[in-house]
Amino acid sequence: MADKANAHPGAAGRAAAADHPAAIRNVVLVGHSQSGKTSLIESLALASGAINRPGKVEDGTSLSDYDEIEHRQQRSVQLSLVPVTWNGIRINLLDTPGYADFVGELRAGLRAADAALFVVSGADGVDGATRLVWQECAAVGMPRAIVLTHLDAARADFDEMTAVCQEVLGGDDPDAVIPLYLPALGERRSDGTAPVTGLIGLLTRKLFDYGSGQRTERDPDEGHLPLVAEARNRLIEGIIAQSEDESLMDRYLGGEDCDVKTLIEDLEKAVARGTFHPVLAAAPAAEGAKAGLGTVELLELITGGFPTPEEHGIPAVTTPDGKPRPALSCDPAGPLAAEVVKTSSDPYVGRISLVRVFSGTLRPDETVHVSGHGLADRGHEDHDVDERIGALSAPFGKQQRSLDAAIAGDLACVAKLGRAETGDTLSAKDDPLLMAPWVMPDPLLPVAIEAHSKADEDKLSQGLARLVAEDPTMRLEQNPDTHQLVLWCMGEAHRDVALERLRSRYGVQVDTVEHKVSLRETFASPANGRGRHVKQSGGHGQYAICDITVEPLPGGSGIEFVDKVVGGAVPRQFIPSVEKGVRAQAAKGVAAGYPLVDVRVTLVDGKAHSVDSSDAAFQTAGALALRECAAQAKIHLLEPVAEVEVMVPDDYVGAVMSDLSSRRGRVLGTEQAGGGSTLVRASVPEIEISRYAIDLRSMSHGTGRFARAYAQHEPMPQQQAARILESAD
């Protein structure tokens, strides 16, 4: 903190040698889209001297959001790393997308980080998705701070937004969300707004002025003092409430003036524990400026208050076959345990893996063991192989700066890991380990795709495999019933980025087609049918006749075949042929081309020829008999029904239940889930929830989540079934 820099030498009180975990801070930036995360990272890089002009590296390219898709969409769509150095501390800044579709990138950033900066727009406030992430961080005790941006906007108000953060994010302890600085305003503009030109440190009572483009220090104006005194008292009381020194409160209430150094030390300890969440303000640097508003103060907070990797702890590890292992520590000399938190492809370098090293030291050109990762259902195969890694580097914009090693607690990019995917563990080849995976949300938006041309078809398989390897929130499915190739995504934006990457990065053009659900057919009533296959056209003929009955069975029964032929009307060797023909026709369907299920087919009679009957002839006769039965009976279409669980804030429960009913859903019950949320359980036809991931987000303003699981097939309403049957004719 800037206050700290004026209180005692060196903001990095826990600084150590550059090759020690104590000299590393891993910080993830969280916030809604357009809240200013990327601009803030660029300002921090400028203030730290990592770049010499806002947002640009030496080659003139953008420091972040340098991906072509990000340029076109004007928003972050992937996790990016920007390392900077401040007072001898290496700070790994992880920029995450703010749009809900890219929550997988956000979760990867949370996994790689030891603390979080929540970036909140002073004009837009705290959205529901940001609140959910805050609660997730609180559940695991991750240290957090809040940065207010866009304070120059017409409707922005620092005090009001601080109060919102205290109410929405502070929860049961709003006094743990308190500003460390007050904004100082410059001259009013013609539109009535006033720029924030400086920050007043509440502990040191000094004004840090950024109005000239450089940070200078002076005493605040007389008019500021009453506001400073009031806010300072609230801050001191908040710090003392978090202090481990119980006598400090008694001394303060007794009128004793608390030592600023002691207050800062207690503040830092509370921040590192995750029990105190300071509020700061920041703004991007103007062209030609040396630092953006609040960036020095923020760098001081990160280096002095956020925990080192040693303090944050390490995920549990086992052997690849699940046997327990002793807990690891963040020790560069310990067993190697690293995790791939992001996988990307570079057209020139190939696959690049962003790796967080939790224990040990990772070095270039060594052979490591790759273990992981339990997502086979999403198209990610499990790994248990040795691989030789390539060069290590630290990204900086489009550049990759070479590293000699990556120690415990650090992040690095690894080249040429051909098999490793996001979520995999890297360990020593003679001591393989597997880290407990982090939770990834299920992709719930199905997108059916087809190759645009024959040339695209030849490259499609490889392109999709590489795409899915990069993104564990994506699932690839070859539906055995509809024969569609389905890419399951998090939402429309996720879908658009995935298809654009297929086109631009892997040279594969695909077309989207209507997604089909796996319907079934069944008989609504018993029926009789004869299959007659008699042909004589010179040479060996074909002769087979069989009579069958079909009757419906309860759901889930499948196809049951019964032989009741008497007197050898159908020779014993051809009865399996009839069954084979019936089952083959059932798989193709008898009305609209969907598999037939839940019927009993009984072979009751037939005829054969001593010379012309054959296995093939009776297979054909069995299929014909089943089709004739279908022509006489009423056929029901069965649709898949899913058990759906929707977690939503209490304010939206009514809207969600009404919407589910409109989708032909049956609400099965609700229960309180705590934290002002309700879990709604319902049974809903899958055809009605193909776009539910999008609709629920809109309905709940980004705060709703749902899970789905196949339950059973049930008869489709007659009107809808009639339309499908008519279109199949």
Domain end point (choices 601, 633, 665): 633
3-state secondary structure 371-408: EECCCHHHCCCCEEEEEECCCEEEEECCEEEEECCEEC
Same-domain pairing of 570 and 620: yes
For residue 515, tell me if it sits in a domain: no
Q: Say yes or no: 25 and 154 in one domain.
A: yes
Which percentage of the chain shows pLDDT scores above 90?
Answer: 57
Domain presence at residue 109 = yes
Give yes or no for residue 94 having a pLDDT over 60: yes
Name the nearest CA neighbour of 689 among 629, 646, 634, 723.
646
Instruction: Report the pLDDT value the prediction gives residue 451, as an integer from 0 to 100.
Output: 94
Phi, psi of 137 (to 5 degrees): -65, -40
| Spatial separation of the C-alpha atoms in residues 648 and 704, rounded to whole Å | 4
pTM for this entry: 0.86
**In DSSP terms, which residues pair with 535 in a beta bridge?**
542
pLDDT in tens, 578-591: 999 999 999 999 98
CATH code, 601: 3.30.230.10
More confidently predicted of 95 and 505: 95
Among residues 615, 633, 651, the one where a domain terminates is 633
Q: Which residue has the tokens 């690095």?
A: 412
In this structure, are 161 and 300 located in the same domain?
yes
Query: Is the predicted pLDDT of residue 524 greater than 60, yes or no?
Result: yes
Q: pLDDT per residue over 529-582, tens digit each?
A: 999 999 876 667 899 999 999 999 998 899 999 999 988 899 999 999 999 999
Domain-located, residue 675 = yes
Residues 156 and 288 both lie in one domain:
yes
pLDDT of residue 11: 37
CATH code for the domain of 382: 2.40.30.10
Q: Is residue 405 part of a domain?
A: yes
pLDDT tens for each residue of 60-77: 555 655 556 555 555 577
Domain harbouring 185, CATH code: 3.40.50.300
* Domain-embedded: residue 167: yes
On average, the pLDDT of the chain sits at: 88
Strand ranges (E), 315-391: 317-318, 337-346, 350-359, 361-362, 367-372, 383-388
Reported confidence tier of residue 297, pLDDT bands at 50, 70, 90: very high
Give the range of the structural domain holding residue 363, as residue numbers without chain letter: 317-435
Same domain, 489 and 543: no
In 3D space, the residue among 634, 544, 554 whose CA is nearest the CA of residue 582 turns out to be 544
648 and 628 together in one domain: no
Tokens 């900066």: give the residue: 117
How many Å apart are CA 28 and CA 310, to the nearest integer?
17
The answer to whether residue 115 sits within a structural domain is yes
Whole-angstrom CA distances from 674 to 646, 647, 650 are 14, 11, 10
Per-residue pLDDT for 110 more than 70?
yes
Domain count, the chain: 5
Q: Is 54 found in the same domain as 138?
A: yes
341 versus 188: which is more confidently predicted? 341
User: Is residue 337 domain-resident?
Assistant: yes
**Which stretches within 113-246 are classed as H helix?**
128-140, 158-168, 225-242
Reduced to 3 states (helix: H, G, I; strand: E, B; else coil), residue 113 is coil
pLDDT in tens, 76-86: 778 889 999 99
**Residue 411: how many other CB atoms lie within 10 Å:** 24
Res 3 pLDDT > 60: no
Find out whether 488 and 443 touch, Cβ atoms under 8 Å.
Answer: yes
Backbone angles phi, psi at 109, to 5 degrees: -65, -40
Give the end of a domain, one of 633, 660, 690: 633
Residue whose pair of structure tokens reads 């009533």 in the numeric block: 525
- Judge if 199 and 298 occupy the same domain: yes
